[in-house]
Amino acid sequence: MSVFSRKIRGFRLVDVVAAGLLVAIILSVYLAKTIAGGERTEIATVEKQIEAERDRIRLLQAEVAHLEQPSRIEQLSAAHLGMAPMAAKNEITPETLGDVMLAAQLKAATAKRAAEPPKVEVAAPVEPAAKPLTQVARVSIPGVQQ
Protein backbone atom coordinates (compact mmCIF):
# COMPACT_ATOMS: atom_id res chain seq x y z
CA MET A 1 0.00 0.00 0.00
CA SER A 2 1.33 3.30 -1.04
CA VAL A 3 2.07 5.86 1.62
CA PHE A 4 -0.25 8.20 -0.19
CA SER A 5 -3.13 5.76 0.09
CA ARG A 6 -2.58 4.85 3.74
CA LYS A 7 -5.38 5.89 6.03
CA ILE A 8 -5.56 6.59 9.74
CA ARG A 9 -9.02 6.43 11.27
CA GLY A 10 -10.54 6.95 7.87
CA PHE A 11 -8.32 9.88 6.91
CA ARG A 12 -5.53 9.71 4.42
CA LEU A 13 -2.13 10.03 6.02
CA VAL A 14 -1.02 12.69 3.61
CA ASP A 15 -4.10 14.72 4.40
CA VAL A 16 -3.43 14.41 8.12
CA VAL A 17 0.20 15.43 7.60
CA ALA A 18 -0.85 18.34 5.40
CA ALA A 19 -3.40 19.46 7.98
CA GLY A 20 -0.77 19.22 10.72
CA LEU A 21 1.63 21.15 8.60
CA LEU A 22 -1.02 23.73 7.99
CA VAL A 23 -1.71 24.10 11.70
CA ALA A 24 2.01 24.34 12.43
CA ILE A 25 2.52 27.01 9.81
CA ILE A 26 -0.48 28.98 10.98
CA LEU A 27 0.81 28.75 14.52
CA SER A 28 4.30 29.82 13.53
CA VAL A 29 2.98 32.77 11.51
CA TYR A 30 0.82 33.77 14.45
CA LEU A 31 3.72 33.52 16.86
CA ALA A 32 6.03 35.40 14.48
CA LYS A 33 3.50 38.18 14.08
CA THR A 34 2.85 38.34 17.80
CA ILE A 35 6.53 38.41 18.68
CA ALA A 36 7.21 40.93 15.92
CA GLY A 37 4.39 43.09 17.24
CA GLY A 38 5.90 42.97 20.69
CA GLU A 39 9.30 43.82 19.32
CA ARG A 40 7.81 46.63 17.30
CA THR A 41 6.15 48.03 20.37
CA GLU A 42 9.42 47.82 22.24
CA ILE A 43 11.26 49.50 19.36
CA ALA A 44 8.68 52.28 19.30
CA THR A 45 9.10 52.73 23.05
CA VAL A 46 12.87 52.86 22.74
CA GLU A 47 12.65 55.27 19.83
CA LYS A 48 10.38 57.45 21.90
CA GLN A 49 12.89 57.33 24.73
CA ILE A 50 15.67 58.20 22.30
CA GLU A 51 13.65 61.13 21.04
CA ALA A 52 12.99 62.30 24.57
CA GLU A 53 16.65 61.91 25.47
CA ARG A 54 17.61 63.80 22.33
CA ASP A 55 15.32 66.63 23.33
CA ARG A 56 16.82 66.52 26.79
CA ILE A 57 20.35 66.61 25.40
CA ARG A 58 19.52 69.64 23.26
CA LEU A 59 18.00 71.34 26.24
CA LEU A 60 21.07 70.62 28.31
CA GLN A 61 23.34 71.79 25.48
CA ALA A 62 21.44 75.05 25.36
CA GLU A 63 21.68 75.34 29.12
CA VAL A 64 25.42 74.71 28.98
CA ALA A 65 25.76 77.36 26.26
CA HIS A 66 23.77 79.75 28.41
CA LEU A 67 25.84 79.04 31.51
CA GLU A 68 29.09 79.21 29.57
CA GLN A 69 28.37 82.46 27.81
CA PRO A 70 31.63 84.38 27.87
CA SER A 71 30.29 87.51 29.51
CA ARG A 72 28.88 85.47 32.40
CA ILE A 73 32.09 83.50 32.87
CA GLU A 74 34.07 86.72 32.82
CA GLN A 75 31.84 88.35 35.43
CA LEU A 76 31.98 85.32 37.70
CA SER A 77 35.71 84.86 37.36
CA ALA A 78 36.33 88.53 38.06
CA ALA A 79 33.91 88.69 41.00
CA HIS A 80 34.77 85.42 42.74
CA LEU A 81 38.29 84.60 41.62
CA GLY A 82 39.71 88.05 40.99
CA MET A 83 40.74 87.01 37.49
CA ALA A 84 41.31 89.34 34.56
CA PRO A 85 42.31 89.01 30.90
CA MET A 86 45.85 87.74 30.71
CA ALA A 87 48.49 90.42 30.32
CA ALA A 88 50.94 90.12 27.47
CA LYS A 89 53.88 89.90 29.86
CA ASN A 90 52.36 86.76 31.37
CA GLU A 91 52.13 84.94 28.06
CA ILE A 92 54.83 82.42 27.35
CA THR A 93 55.38 79.80 24.71
CA PRO A 94 57.14 76.50 25.31
CA GLU A 95 59.97 77.61 23.02
CA THR A 96 60.79 80.62 25.19
CA LEU A 97 60.51 78.96 28.60
CA GLY A 98 64.30 78.60 28.75
CA ASP A 99 64.76 82.28 28.04
CA VAL A 100 62.41 83.20 30.84
CA MET A 101 64.33 80.99 33.25
CA LEU A 102 67.61 82.53 32.15
CA ALA A 103 66.23 86.02 32.49
CA ALA A 104 65.01 85.22 36.01
CA GLN A 105 68.43 83.87 36.96
CA LEU A 106 70.12 86.96 35.56
CA LYS A 107 67.72 89.19 37.42
CA ALA A 108 68.40 87.32 40.66
CA ALA A 109 72.14 87.55 40.10
CA THR A 110 71.88 91.25 39.44
CA ALA A 111 69.84 91.79 42.58
CA LYS A 112 72.33 89.76 44.61
CA ARG A 113 75.27 91.79 43.38
CA ALA A 114 73.43 95.02 44.00
CA ALA A 115 72.71 93.91 47.58
CA GLU A 116 76.37 93.13 48.35
CA PRO A 117 78.17 95.89 50.32
CA PRO A 118 80.70 97.81 48.24
CA LYS A 119 84.30 96.84 48.82
CA VAL A 120 86.02 100.09 49.70
CA GLU A 121 89.57 98.86 49.35
CA VAL A 122 89.08 97.83 45.76
CA ALA A 123 90.28 100.60 43.55
CA ALA A 124 90.25 98.68 40.32
CA PRO A 125 87.28 99.36 37.99
CA VAL A 126 84.35 97.15 38.85
CA GLU A 127 82.82 95.21 35.98
CA PRO A 128 79.34 96.59 35.43
CA ALA A 129 76.85 93.79 35.93
CA ALA A 130 74.10 94.99 33.63
CA LYS A 131 76.04 95.24 30.42
CA PRO A 132 77.22 91.67 29.94
CA LEU A 133 73.95 90.36 31.34
CA THR A 134 71.96 92.30 28.76
CA GLN A 135 74.19 90.99 26.03
CA VAL A 136 73.64 87.43 27.18
CA ALA A 137 69.92 87.93 27.24
CA ARG A 138 69.84 89.29 23.72
CA VAL A 139 71.95 86.55 22.28
CA SER A 140 69.89 83.83 23.93
CA ILE A 141 66.55 84.58 22.25
CA PRO A 142 66.42 82.44 19.11
CA GLY A 143 64.66 83.58 15.98
CA VAL A 144 63.84 86.99 17.33
CA GLN A 145 64.62 90.24 15.62
CA GLN A 146 66.90 92.26 17.83
Partner 1 sequence: MTMAHPSFQPPGWRWLKAQVWGLEHAFERAKAAGKAEDDTRIRIFFVLALFSASFLTLAIGATNSAVFSNLGRGDGGAAAVGSARADLVDRNGAMLAADLLHYGLYIDPQEIWDKGEVRRALLGSIPSLTPARLNRALNGQRRTFVLGGLTPESRARVHALGLPGVTFEREERRVYPLGQTAAHLIGFADTGGVGLAGAERALNDLAHQNAAAGAPVALSIDLRVQAALEDELYKAATLHQVKGAVGIVTNVHTGEILGVASYPTFDPNQAGKSSPDALTNRAAASVYEMGSTFKVFTVALGLDSGTATLASTFDARAPLTMNGRTIRDYHAENKVMSVSDIFIHSSNIGTTKLALQAGSGTVQKYYKAFGLTTAAPVELRESAKPIVPRRWDDNDVASTSFGHAISVSPLAVAAGMGSVLNGGTYVPLTIRPVKPGFRPKGARAVSEETSRAMLDLMRVNVVRGTGGKANAPGMRVGGKTGSANKVIGGRYSNNILVSSFAAVFPTDGPLDADRYFVLILMDEPKGTSETYGFATGGWTAAPAAGRVIDRIGPFLGVDRRPEVVGTTPAEAVVPIESEH
State the residues that interact with partner 1 by CB under 8 A: 2, 4-5, 14-15, 18, 21-22, 25, 29, 32-33, 36, 40, 43-44, 47, 51, 54-56, 58-59, 61-63, 65-66, 69-71, 74, 85, 88-89, 91, 93, 96, 99, 141, 144-146
Closest distance to partner 1 from the beta carbon of 109 (Å): 21
Closest distance to partner 1 from the beta carbon of 69 (Å): 5
Which CB sits closer to partner 1, 129 or 141? 141
Long-range contacts, stretch 130-137, CB < 8 angstroms, 24+ apart: 133/106, 133/109, 136/102, 136/106, 137/99, 137/102, 137/103, 137/106
Which CB sits closer to partner 1, 76 or 126? 76
* Angular region, 127: left φ>0, alpha ψ -120 to 50, beta rest: beta
Which CB sits closer to partner 1, 120 or 144? 144
Which CB sits closer to partner 1, 47 or 113? 47
